[in-house]
Copies of this chain bind each other. A is one copy, B any other.
């Protein structure tokens, strides 16, 4: 870079208006929105990490960009924090039932011999509850929808 360019750049820098105040509403200009997203995402992760370090807290930050791309950050680990959150809120994730497809009643009818063999089950109450629950769920495959031979 020659002296003239350097001079040019110097003057360009001098004209910077510095950080400008903005309203907290959608950034309309796409290029600005992307830059803002990238910067603030990093800022958020940094802040979350600092909070953990400074105060001994466990944190999880999950971000989906406007294009649904996933970014996450957690201390000690996103999934660990999520497990604790789900246990605390006693919440069943929506996507669990969506992964189960077959109807339990049909399964039971077709697996009569298997059902016959499951007598005197000590945990019948628990299993009954689980099955009752699963029967109300839509979607996915079932754990007993497996070749019976392999399960014996």
A interface, CB within 8 angstroms of B: 22, 24-27, 33, 36-37, 40-41, 43-44, 47-48, 50-51, 53-66, 70, 72, 78-79, 81-105, 107-108, 110-111, 114-136, 139, 141-144, 146, 148, 150-152
CA of A105 to CA of B122 in the docked complex: distance in angstroms?
A: 18
The SS class assigned to the A binding surface is helix
Write the nearest CB–CB distance from A135 to chain B, whole angstroms. 6
Knowing A55-B65, A57-B66, A99-B86 touch, does A119 contact B117 (C-beta < 8 A)? no
CA of A22 to CA of B43 in the docked complex: distance in angstroms?
A: 17
- CB pair B115 A125 closer than 8 Å: yes
Write the nearest CB–CB distance from A8 to chain B, whole angstroms. 32
CA of A87 to CA of B82 in the docked complex: distance in angstroms?
A: 13
Knowing A24-B54, A59-B63, A107-B136 touch, does A44 contact B41 (C-beta < 8 A)? no
Of the candidates B70, B83, B151, which one forms a contact with A143 in the assembled complex, judged by CB atoms under 8 Å apart? B151
CA of A108 to CA of B70 in the docked complex: distance in angstroms?
A: 37
- CB pair B58 A60 closer than 8 Å: no
- CB pair B87 A91 closer than 8 Å: no
- CB pair A133 B121 closer than 8 Å: no
